[in-house]
Amino acid sequence: MQVMKTKSEPKILFVDIDFTLLTAERELTEENDTAIREALAAGHRVVICSGRPLGGILPLAKKLNLTGEGCYLISYNGALIYDCGADRVIFKETLPLEDVRVLFDKADEHGLYIHTYFRDKVLLRKLSEESDYYVDRIGIQYVVEPNLPEAIVEEPVKVILIELHDKSRLEAYRKEVAPLLAGRVSLFYSSEVLLECVKEGISKGDAVRRLCRHLNLPVTSSIAAGDSENDISMLKAAHIGCAVANATDECKAAADYVTERSCEESGVAEIIRKFMLT
């Protein structure tokens, strides 16, 4: 991507992937694709900001021409920021192993599925309904290591729990674990079935501010688009926070603008045309 000059002030859009940029069936609508290309051609920036691992973002970023000079990707809910042009990580924050062990031990007590990551691959104990759901949806490689968490050799950026049928089980886990790791680990949902765990202070909102500083861009030039709890900090950090029509009520309440269209109806294109191309 070449950042072109524009008559109006250049804007930067931070956009979530699942149920925001993509449909529930993980499809990129033609209208969203076209709107992003129009924004880039007008000299604006578009940054994918996702809970996904970097490897789960890159294929979509390449499809949208967001991997060239001047392009950045935010993954693991803000725990990693990647400079595409330089092919290097410019920010990374990991979870201490002692906290990872607590997360795993408590997951075992609650009978919940849990996995972490190793060098951008999913690190899991065994294949299951939950791992199949996640790996298929994200489209990344996995490594089976039955001896977790003891076998973890380096601090991971994120841990995630999955419960496909009964969210109350995740709620019970978070209610017990959050006080135990207060000030050390943040726990939040990226969807109704995914409970994310990252180091305290890490969030999409922190990543928005961090990348704007790195690019010497005022936060007043930023726009964010999301749908779930993990997007709320991003919506609040950006100058204009937008929730798509299918977003959770909590996310909509935190937004400055709620789209008329859902992710199925190209809600991101609505945001781009309203706030970037007018």
Q: Are residues 210 and 75 in the same domain?
A: yes
Q: Do the Cβ atoms of 236 and 254 come closer than 8 Å? A: yes
Residue 3 lies in a domain: no
Whole-number Cα distances in Å, 278 to 10, 76, 193, 220, 271: 12, 32, 37, 16, 11
Whole-number Å distance between alpha carbons of 103 and 195: 11
* CA-based nearest residue to 272, from 259, 255, 256, 254: 259
What pLDDT was estimated at residue 8?
62
Tokens (6 digits) for 164: 């496909």
Q: Which domain range does residue 182 map to? A: 97-199
Number of domains forming the structure of the chain: 2
Query: How much is the mean pLDDT over the chain?
Result: 95
What pLDDT was estimated at residue 6?
39
Digit-coded pLDDT (tens) for 141-159: 999 999 999 999 999 999 9
What pLDDT was estimated at residue 9?
84
Backbone angles phi, psi at 147, to 5 degrees: -95, 55
Counting as low any pLDDT under 70, the low residues of the chain are 1-8
Backbone angles phi, psi at 130, to 5 degrees: -70, -45
Q: Are residues 192 and 108 in the same domain?
A: yes
Residue 5 lies in a domain: no
Judged on CB neighbours under 10 Å (0-12, 13-18, 19+), 174 is middle
Q: Are residues 114 and 70 in the same domain?
A: no
